[in-house]
Structure 1
Amino acid sequence: MWSGVLPAVTTKFTADDTLDHKEMERCFGLYMEAGCDGLIVCGSLGEGPMLSHDEKLEVLATARAAAGGRPVLLTVNEAATRDAQALAKRAAKAGADGLMIVPSPIYHTNDRETVDTLNAVASAGGLPVMIYSNRVAYRVDVTVPVMEALAANDLFVAIKESSDDIRRTTEVINAFGDRFDVLTGVDNLAFEALAVGAVGWVAGLVTAFPRETVAIYQLMKAGRRDEALAIYRWFRPLLDLDVSTYLVQNIKLAETIEIGSNERVRMPRQPLAGARRAEVERIVREAINERPALPRLDRAA
């Protein structure tokens, strides 16, 4: 159902900490122009846990208006299952094309609790679901046995595989074939995941460098592996910025430098400062100065 490059977009704020819909519309439009295949809003990078349900639905509406008919998924990352169910219902009424569900971001569920929670939230929304498996950030691992228990529910159609173990992609495909769309959710494992069968990339640095991200995916899809690898090797220092406690600040600073956006975040986060800021600026500016020429791409490939 879902494949290609789906940016996990950042949420933009005004100077007085309200949603900046105009800037989000501009940025989302850049991703669509670059050839991205949809949008995922209000996730980890989108500061979803810092947003109210009303704000999440407002971001969803802005993304839908910018997406040009391409799918827009709302991330559900609530601490309490009943709150997640309420948001899933509202997202369905608001026209979301699907949900990306974090099993349990605060309490670390066991396998039975994980299965029951995911089923409860999916059923409440009635929308296709991408499971967000991220044992590093959220300490809940959606393993192959857990996916076996979920496979009977047709609402589960995809998994954002962020276990940080490249072997997991092959394990899921070996176990289920094409039952689930497997999308990589770790920027600096994207080439490796696409090489072993992932059909998509839920990307972070794409929000600052959309053309390069799309180029890697399209080249891999076309079998032009060496060309994709050359871009990926250039991209790696930037992609590493996604795998950090400070991924939101890192990527918003990259957006500020590369696409003229801003780095406003919602407290308790604060923009980078001092040596950490200087290092991220160095990485981004060096990459821009060494940016490779992109080969011609055929979107129909």
Structure 2
Amino acid sequence: MNLRNSVIAGERPAPRASAAPHPFGGVYASTVCPMRPDGCIDEEMLARHLGDVVGTDGMAGLLVNGHAGENAALDRDELALVVRVARAVAGTRRIVAGINVERTDRAAVLAQDAARAGADAVMVFPPFSWALGADERVIQEHHRAVARASGLPLFLFQGAVGAGKTAFSARTLAGLLEIESVIGIKEGSWETAAYDLTRRLTKRLRPDVGVMASGDEHLFACFAIGSEGSLVSLATVVPELIVALDRAVAGGDLAEARAIHDRLYDLARVVYGVPGHLATLRLKTCLVLLGRLGAATSRSPIAALSDEEIGQLHNALIAAGAFA
């Protein structure tokens, strides 16, 4: 009986994974892509940004070319450049490269590029068109094509609840877990109950696959349920706090974890609030306010946030203790 059929049949759960560390466990910052005022990548600032973040004590690595890194807005050469710069500054820390493109043949080519540029793993982001609907065969083959092309460990991305076929059903997820190279899941359901469901299903079918929390507003709850780590863009702004939250939960210090959660809460709500497509611009604005980025330039058609929005971010950064 294959994995998808076992979901339907309700077979007994497989034993949970051992306590040995997951090979891609830990906190990964999903980084932004600094740009000059003309919209071109600022390679010098990119190297500085990635180096500063990955150098945080306890940081396992970086997720580059994710949604926060404007993956859908970068061309092929730019995507490869980001991976090369990350590889140059990361040392022994691991690099996960995002793949987000509508065409499967293009996704395969970008996966090969990422492998050649030095990525340790690739992550398939469901194409945005899948939110409108996608045949399960398309979903399965898109991922398998990337897996074959890269030859690297593969991360899945579980989309937000309500985001159409970017949020995989149990049956679809079970089929994707049949891909041998799958090593982890960036769980972006943005709902704790859905996160728990994904984790339980994955650990029943593939105990070796890490389920990584990525809902910035409820990292504490997801860490408490169980997680092999996190691939999260809030770690680009306050990396020390995300690492500290992970350590506190893992160490059983829930009082400390709640205190960190309280510091993070307003910041997460402001950065990832409606409309969500401004999250990258908000992240870059936070980095400008903290003096870590020269400009918030992005490829959004919105050049800058309003004074009111910037003020909200500034107040949230103060509440988080980010200026200390």
Q: Is the 8 A contact 2:189 2:195 kept in 1?
A: no
Does residue 82 (structure 1) correspond to residue 112 (structure 2)? The answer is: no
AA paired with 1:180? Answer: V
Moved more, 139-148 or 225-234: 139-148
The 10-residue stretch of structure 1 (155-164 or 233-242) with the greater mean CA deviation from structure 2:
233-242
Give the Cα–Cα distance (whole angstroms) in 2 for the partners of residues 171 and 200 of structure 1. Answer: 17
- Aligned letter for 1:260? R
1:253 alignment partner, SS class: helix
Question: In structure 1, what is the equivalent of residue 60 of structure 2?
Answer: 37
Partners of 2:110 and 2:32 in 1: how far apart?
Answer: 19
Q: Alignment partner for residue 50 of structure 1, among 63, 70, 73?
A: 73
Counterpart of 1:23? 45
Offset from partner CA, 1:199-245 (integer Å, 9 cap, x none): 11112121121111111111112222211111111111012234232
Query: Against the structure 1 CA distance between its residues 119 and 289, is the aligned structure 2 distance closer, same or farther, given a 3 Å change threshold?
Result: closer
The residue type equivalent to 2:79 in the other structure is: K
Q: Distance in 1 between matches of 2:323 and 2:35?
A: 31
**Residue 293 (structure 2) pairs with residue 270 (structure 1):** no
1:237 corresponds to which of 238, 256, 266: 266
The CA distance in 2 between the partners of 1:267 and 1:289, in whole Å, is: 26
Candidates 263, 279, 290, aligned match of 1:258: 290
> Alignment partner of 1:37: what SS?
strand
Partner of 1:174: 200
Partner of 1:149: 175
**What SS does the aligned partner of 2:281 have?**
helix
Conserved? CA contact 1:101–1:130, under 8 Å? yes
For residues 105 and 256 of structure 1, what CA distance do their matches in structure 2 show?
Answer: 29
Task: Give the 3 Å change call, closer, same or farther, for CA 176–48 of structure 1 in structure 2.
Answer: closer
TM-aligned CA deviation for residue 98 of structure 1: 0.7
What's 1:14 paired with? 36
Normalising by structure 2, report the TM-score.
0.84
Contact 2:248 2:256 in 1 (8 A): yes
Looking at structure 2, the residues matched to 179 and 126 of structure 1 have their Cα atoms a distance apart, in angstroms, of: 18
Equivalent pair of 1:3/1:200 in contact (CA under 8 Å): yes
More moved, 235-244 vs 134-143: 134-143
RMSD of aligned residue pairs (Cα, Å)? 1.9
What's 1:63 paired with? 86
> Equivalents in 2 of 1:137, 1:257: separation in Å?
33
SS at match of 1:27: helix
Post-superposition offset of 1:279 = 2.3
Q: Taking every aligned residue pair, what percent have the same amino acid on both sides?
A: 24
**Residue in 2 aligned with 1:134?**
159
Q: For residue 279 of structure 1, what is the amino acid of its counterpart?
A: Q
Q: Give ranges in structure 2 of 5+ residues lacking alignment.
A: 1-22
Take 1:137 and 1:277, find their aligned partners in 2: how far apart are those partners?
29
TM-score for the superposition, normalised by structure 1: 0.90
CA contact (8 A) 1:144 1:175 kept: yes
Q: Secondary structure at the match of 1:280?
A: helix
> Could you tell me how far 1:182 is from its partner in structure 2?
0.3
Does residue 314 of structure 2 align to residue 288 of structure 1? no
Mapped partners of 1:21, 1:135: distance in 2: 32
> 2:256 corresponds to which residue?
227
C-alpha distance in 1 between matches for 2:220 and 2:99: 27
Residue 120 of structure 1: aligned partner: 145
SS in 1 for 2:60: coil
Deviations 1:120-142, CA, capped at 9 Å, x for gaps? 22212121111111135953112
Contiguous gaps of at least 5 residues in structure 1: 292-301
**Alignment of 1:212 onto 2:234:** no
Q: Distance in 2 between matches of 1:100 and 1:238?
A: 26
Match of 2:27, SS state, is: strand
Distance 1:217 1:259, change over 3 A: farther
How many equivalent pairs are there?
Answer: 291
* Distance (Å, rounded) in 2 between the aligned partners of 1:162 and 1:168: 9
Higher relative contact order (CA 8 A, sep 6+): 2
